[in-house]
Structure 1
């Protein structure tokens, strides 16, 4: 027999397995020492709106029967070593899930990744932090798993139009993620667990006869008329296939330049730019959970989501939190020497003493009149110029410019900075020298507004660290709405964040699957 429950529990009841078991048995009127019952949570969310934090839980109780798996379906991966190939440029979430879906559909994926595998990639990440050396092919954005491998590993998405979120989650669980990601309303994996998961995805692809080539940057396309036949790598190797899925991520500027040089249609795209703001996690917990000292042993590190509208010179623009990382770290995310970019990540336990979030301003193309001569690369060139200025003012290393929050708003230099999770170090800089006026003024307005929404958020015990500029792609590679094929070049399938069609691990994975489906549906039929 199975019974379903909708419960509102205390943190202890929700997060202590034994206490949860006892609580649900009492609700069911069953002795707590019963041995032929199984209780489990299937959905869980935190409600911190009241003075006491409550946890909303959907639960199942199985009496004298075995609980079925939370995973409804695990795909079958056939051997495709002798099948027709498709080329996938990039081994981020979009590329990896495109490859897995291709295998399901009986096609051999060949992934070409400019960076290194997750293990070898770590040495290049250490070189950025310790020696301020940026390898343009292997860094926090490029390499196996893409930018998502060394991130918070958030899996929450509102993008459900082009794929099955549950299916992506179940594939991740089958490759090492815990079943908790199927339960929590805002699931995450954590940067400490993502590398092994990514390596397990690679193993599945290789075991099924797919190919993954690392240190294999695509430098050119093989075009015949309006069709792409293949690619040319940095080693001058020509590789051909049924079609090309372009899943290079939002930071592959060389690919955007290549597309533009080849006169392949691309478009400038609005994006967002700002800073990382870092508070102590304890302060954010006290604000969000209404606690006087700390959050206690059961509640997870608290997050926040903030948004406001600002008016500057007659133009309305949104300012919002982006990729908030509770209990996390700020990391150097530059992809080339001579630029300074920061991003956030969290381990699975989110146990750092710091909380950080991007606070970014929406940038519309009309905000960039001085860059219009760059055509479709206008927003990208603006983005790059801000990153170069941050690098210069930080001291031309990966030391990041920083300023305390109230000092920034009141236009005062920060005589001292706070402790930070950003390991390359901070330099006290007037951030208005780094940021364009229309960004800086809107941030100053937003910080005051956020202080009204979250009492205690607006404080000089927090600091701006800059710049947070890789929020999304500043370029869109247009594709047909139905076929997903590029509007000009046949057999080319722009995919994921880099093409402007995703914004995170799950949405990129879903987009990768759909691109693989569309390519195979269209072109395998014509070839076989």
Structure 2
């Protein structure tokens, strides 16, 4: 017999299978010996009260054996001789689009400007140590896209867009821990993601698909407003009647190409700000109401939003037990982001703290559909100039930042290229600077201890989402003007993270294949 129950218990009980079994037996009227297994289906943390509780949904097996089900991958077909679909970009949207094409019997040809995971690591080392930015191989471009070296957060609010659980199950099939199916805010970890991404690429190739690295697209071939193929940097032409455009939110050359070719794109509001770093111990103390979280609670995160001067100021991509990384995609710019390893065991936590950027804020760049992108570029370049024209990030202590005071010195930062003391009012647009100054004070009122000069503000956090939207028909998902072109994922303005990008990739693949039949 199987029964399902939802309840709260202590972190100690939730972490100990034997103690959990005793708890369930007492709570729901079973004898301990009757229960063969307690399977945790869902787990979340409730830290709203002084005493932290764990919310659990479990399935108990009463006088019945428990056999753990293995989640199989779909039965992928061999598509080596099938009609081709070109997919530009090997991030989550592009790779999951390729897998779906294979399921549906079409041959994906994935074209990626960056390198494979192994070769990409060497360029990341040069970026962190020598401050050398490779425009085609960095934290954003390469096998797996920005997802490979992201925090690996899998939480999404995009449940209305598609089957989130299907994406999570596929990730488990490719090597992710099955705990991502249980946790309310699932997370893989930067150290685990590369192997999973490599397994996805291997599967695509084993079933007749193609993944081409170091192959930047420089032109899109059109015949009478219909897709005919693409041209690569080396002059090679690839022909196909369907192209899925999944380049991510930092492929500015693609946005410029579309604009140059009069393919309709639009400026899109986004958000821009800074990345702030606190000690993880402090954030734990604030969130868990204790000086020591103990061994049974994970490093805590936070999510906070305030309205300041009529604009939203909010946390973005919070990374507990993580580090800040340099994410520039071209020389002459500073871009920061954050990630955490699977255990989230670093001494610091960090989060983007950003301000809404609306059309009136980038009006000085005119009516160009690239106006928001130009605004974004201008701030990133200023950060580079004030940082000393290297990847050293301009930084300021948090209270000093809000008081407009240059920091005399700076604490250690997890940002490997290093930080330098700068009054960030010289870097950030005035409306963002003033909104953040007040925003941090407001955060401190909600999270006692957050507003401290031991925290460090790093500029800039600017790649929260794409500054461009590539419009598509809501039914066919084709570009509104170009037949056979499927704008997809974060870069096109239709996703915001690994899971939502993967869902969108699958949807675009389905529509492209349907149109081929």
Per the normalisation by structure 2, the TM-score is 0.98
In 1: Cα distance, 2:470 partner to 2:421 partner:
38
Deviates more, 1:294-303 or 1:18-27: 18-27
Query: After superposition, where does 1:312-461 map in structure 2 within 5 Å?
Result: 316-372=310-366, 375-461=368-454
Query: After superposition, where does 1:40-55 map in structure 2 within 5 Å?
Result: 40-55=39-54
Aligned to 1:7: 7
Aligned to 1:463: 456
| 1:321-363 Cα shifts (integer Å, max 9, x gaps) | 0000000100000001111000000001000110100000000
Gaps of 5+ in 2: none
Equivalent position SS for 2:448: coil
2:131 matches 1:137: no
From 276, 283, 295, the equivalent of 1:297 is 295
Indicate if the aligned counterparts of 2:283 and 2:450 stay in contact, CA closer than 8 A: yes
In 1: Cα distance, 2:372 partner to 2:49 partner:
43
Give the superposition deviation at 1:19.
2.7
| 1:4-53 Cα shifts (integer Å, max 9, x gaps) | 1212111111123333234334445555466x712110011100000000
Aligned to 2:220: 221
Indicate if the aligned counterparts of 2:17 and 2:38 stay in contact, CA closer than 8 A: no
Indicate if the aligned counterparts of 1:162 and 1:514 stay in contact, CA closer than 8 A: no
Indicate if the aligned counterparts of 2:227 and 2:241 stay in contact, CA closer than 8 A: no
Indicate if the aligned counterparts of 2:204 and 2:210 stay in contact, CA closer than 8 A: yes
Deviates more, 1:7-16 or 1:62-71: 62-71
2:493 matches 1:495: no
In 2: Cα distance, 1:163 partner to 1:87 partner:
23
Equivalent position SS for 2:287: helix
Aligned to 2:230: 231
In 2: Cα distance, 1:256 partner to 1:461 partner:
40
Aligned to 2:274: 275
Give the superposition deviation at 1:64.
3.6
Query: After superposition, where does 1:177-192 map in structure 2 within 5 Å?
Result: 177-192=176-191
Equivalent position SS for 1:272: strand
In 2: Cα distance, 1:441 partner to 1:376 partner:
27
Gaps of 5+ in 1: none
Equivalent position SS for 2:479: coil
Indicate if the aligned counterparts of 2:327 and 2:337 stay in contact, CA closer than 8 A: yes
Distance 1:85-1:66 versus aligned 2 partners, 3 A rule:
farther
Equivalent position SS for 2:459: strand
From 504, 507, 510, the equivalent of 1:511 is 504
In 2: Cα distance, 1:136 partner to 1:74 partner:
34
In 2: Cα distance, 1:452 partner to 1:70 partner:
47
Indicate if the aligned counterparts of 2:43 and 2:184 stay in contact, CA closer than 8 A: yes
| 1:365-402 Cα shifts (integer Å, max 9, x gaps) | 111221115x0000001100100110010011111000
Give the superposition deviation at 1:75.
1.8
Equivalent position SS for 1:20: helix
Indicate if the aligned counterparts of 1:84 and 1:242 stay in contact, CA closer than 8 A: no
Aligned to 1:481: 474
Give the superposition deviation at 1:72.
6.7
Aligned to 1:310: 308
Deviates more, 1:493-502 or 1:61-70: 61-70
Distance 1:172-1:342 versus aligned 2 partners, 3 A rule:
same
Aligned to 2:17: 17
Per the normalisation by structure 1, the TM-score is 0.96
In 2: Cα distance, 1:68 partner to 1:519 partner:
39
Aligned residue pairs total 517
In 2: Cα distance, 1:324 partner to 1:10 partner:
25
Structure 1 outlier segments of 4+, above 6 Å: none
Indicate if the aligned counterparts of 1:16 and 1:298 stay in contact, CA closer than 8 A: no
Give the superposition deviation at 1:309.
0.8
In 2: Cα distance, 1:183 partner to 1:3 partner:
17
In 2: Cα distance, 1:412 partner to 1:205 partner:
54
Equivalent position SS for 1:161: helix
What RMSD in Å do the two structures reach over aligned CA positions?
Answer: 1.3
